[in-house]
Each structure stands twice: as C-alpha cells, then as structure tokens.
Amino acid sequence: MKKIAIVTSNHGAYSETFIKAQIDLLPANILLYDGLLPKYYNDKKLIFSLNKIERVINRISFLFFKNIFFTYGKALNRILKNNDVKVILAQYGLSGVEMLAFCKKYKFDLIVHFHGFDASIKEVLETNRGKYYEMFHFAKKIVVVSIKMEQTIIDLGCPKEKILLNHYGPNDIFFENEPNFSSDVFFSIGRFVDKKAPYLTLIAFYELQKEFSTVKLRMAGTGELLNTCKNMVKAWSIEDKVEFLGVIKPEQTKYEMENALAFVQHSLVADSGDSEGTPVAVLEAQAAALPVISTFHAGIPDVVLSGKTGILVNETDVFGMKEAMKEVFLNRDYAKILGRNGRKRIKQNFTMHMYIERLRNCINEI
C-alpha cells in the first residue's frame, strides 16, 4: 500500500474514534501532521518540521527582518518525501482546503475526508464555497459518511464520480455485548452540544418517568450544554433518576450498553446548520444489540431502519421519542428483536473492517 500522511488542523481530532481507527488499522506507514503547528506525529512520536539549526535561523531572521528563511511548506515537503509519502489524506474539508495549494505545488495526491460540521455549518460552507469547488476538482477522491452529506457535496459542485460514500464502523468489542433487557435504564453517550440536543432527550425522559417511576437515564459525555442539562434535572427534582457519567472509555461504554434497555439520542440540525455525519455511538449501540431510539437526522436513517432495528422520530418531537421509549419499556421482546436486527445489519454492512477496507482501496486505486 502507498504511504500516506493523515493531515488534520483539528487539535482534538487525534483522539477522535474514526481518525484514530485509521491510524491504528490502515496497513500503511502514516505520518500525522497537525496543520496549525509546525509539528508532526510519526509512529506516535512528536518531531519538528524544521531541524534545530533551521529553527534558530528562522528566529534570527524574524527578529531582524520580520520574515522567516525556511518555510514550513518546504519543510513539510521534505519530511513527506523523505518518508516516501505519496498521498495526503486530509481529515475534514477545511484541512483539505489548507493542503490544496501545497499538494498542487509539490505534486501530492489529495483525498479529503468530510465528517460532519465541515459539510453542514452554514458559515463554513458559505466562506469556503469557492475553495471547496477548486478542491473538489483537484482532489482524487472525496470521502463522505452519509447519503445526505453526499448530496450536499454534489450540490456544492463535486463530481459524483469522485465521491466515496463510506459509513463509519463501530469498535468490534461491541459485538461481544449480550444485553439482558431486564433493566429499566436508558443510555446515552455523546458530546453535550446543539446538534446532539441532550436537553431534548432529557425532556422525553422526563415525560416518560411521570408514567413509570422505575425508569432511569444514564448520560455519558461532556460539552457546553452539560451544566444546562444538570440544572434541568435539578429543577425537575429527578436527580435520583438521571446520572451524568462524564467522559468514559469504550470498555465502560460496553458495560453501560450491556446493562441498558435502549440507546437514546435526539440529534437535530443546529441553528448554525451543524449536523451529524453518522454518529459512531449509534453504530456502537446497534453492534451491541441495543434498540436505538433517535431521529430522522443526517446519516442516522442510513444505519437505523425505523421499526426494524430501532425507532426514529422527527427532530424536536420529544413526545414521539417518549412514546418510542415507552414502547420498548413495555415490550421487552420487541426491544430484543430490534437489537438483534440492528446487530445483524451492522455486521453485514457497517463494520470497522469494511470502513477501513474501502478507505484502503480508495488510496490504492487513485
């Protein structure tokens, strides 16, 4: 396989599930470059783009002449060529835009992997419309993670034949799950941000617990809306029914899913336009044989078949979500059927192996 450089300008991206999976599982020598800083990750070790002498000369040059002698573009080109890298795999459309001129100048093949906000936030799309169009026509491939995202990219001017629709896959450990469906616990995991609307999940649960006193909700994750959600729980005096778990590891996520009745997530389009790609937690829950209760949003209907592998409601329909939660609470056999069907469909269509294999073939074919 060709050697590749994974490029990201998102500081948090190195730990994100899908990018980490690429680094761990792609059968290639990978150089990870953080585009905002002059540093590179090679075999997980931090190295600098410029050597020590070049950095000293740059400091002196900037001190006296207000410019730098050695440019980072040249340094990056040297490092990539020394590592025999042929292909740049840019994570997020914005990283693709950042690398466009570099790839043109130094003749690297470019693949751009969109993930969510980069193909949905109104300001991002409007600001980068022209740059995206140029990037679409230069890049060898554009990777998207949902049917809705594919149409958005086409509408922005990307030739359809350049697009690879490649849904994410869950961590294989979730296929080991054997949920017992004896608990009255609903489980949610994800960032507490607008597009995941955790407050709407809470409202649906609040309505449910009015009818059934034994139900509980466990919510994992953190984010800007976490404190708001905690205050809602306090205002309703249901602290004994809702527990906030903070950031948890995959092993604990697996444990939570083994001991839950269903997975719940009320995703929607934020006012900014921000949308999901295909939420990894939804894939993990289905792999774990849990019924998924969520919304007709972005890539979720691609992987959840409402009435067959889960139950989907319209965005902001909190009472519809409450009724869906009630349905699986009252009918455990139905919950088991949904979970079993979900696991079967994920195994057949959306595994991590399939995701990585499609990406590997894409890299080899260009």
* Residue ranges of domains in the chain, CATH in brackets: 3-167+352-365 (3.40.50.2000), 172-349 (3.40.50.2000)
- Distance CA(92)–CA(140), nearest Å, equals 15
Residue 315 Ramachandran class (φ > 0 left, ψ -120 to 50 alpha, else beta):
beta
pLDDT tens string 301-318: 999 999 999 999 999 999
- Joined together, the tokens standing for residue 339 give 């979970």
What pLDDT, on the 0 to 100 scale, is given for residue 25? 81
What pLDDT, on the 0 to 100 scale, is given for residue 5? 84
Phi and psi, residue 277, nearest 5°: -90, -100
What pLDDT, on the 0 to 100 scale, is given for residue 14? 46
Q: Residue 187 carries which side chain, given as an amino acid letter?
A: F
Q: What's 40's DSSP letter? A: E
User: What DSSP string runs through 299-331?
Assistant: THHHH--BTTTEEEE-TT-HHHHHHHHHHHHH-
Handedness of CA 349, 354, 355, 359 (dihedral sign): negative
pTM over 0.75: yes
Inter-residue contact 169 to 349 (CB < 8 Å): no
- CB contact burial 48-76 (16+ within 10 A = b; e otherwise): ebbeeebbeebeeeeeeeeebebeeeebb
- Which residues partner with 47 through β-bridges? 40
Q: Which residues of the chain have pLDDT under 70?
A: 1, 9-15, 27-52, 54-55, 57-58, 61-62, 64-72
What pLDDT, on the 0 to 100 scale, is given for residue 79? 78
H or E segment and range at residue 232:
helix 226-236
What pLDDT, on the 0 to 100 scale, is given for residue 314? 98
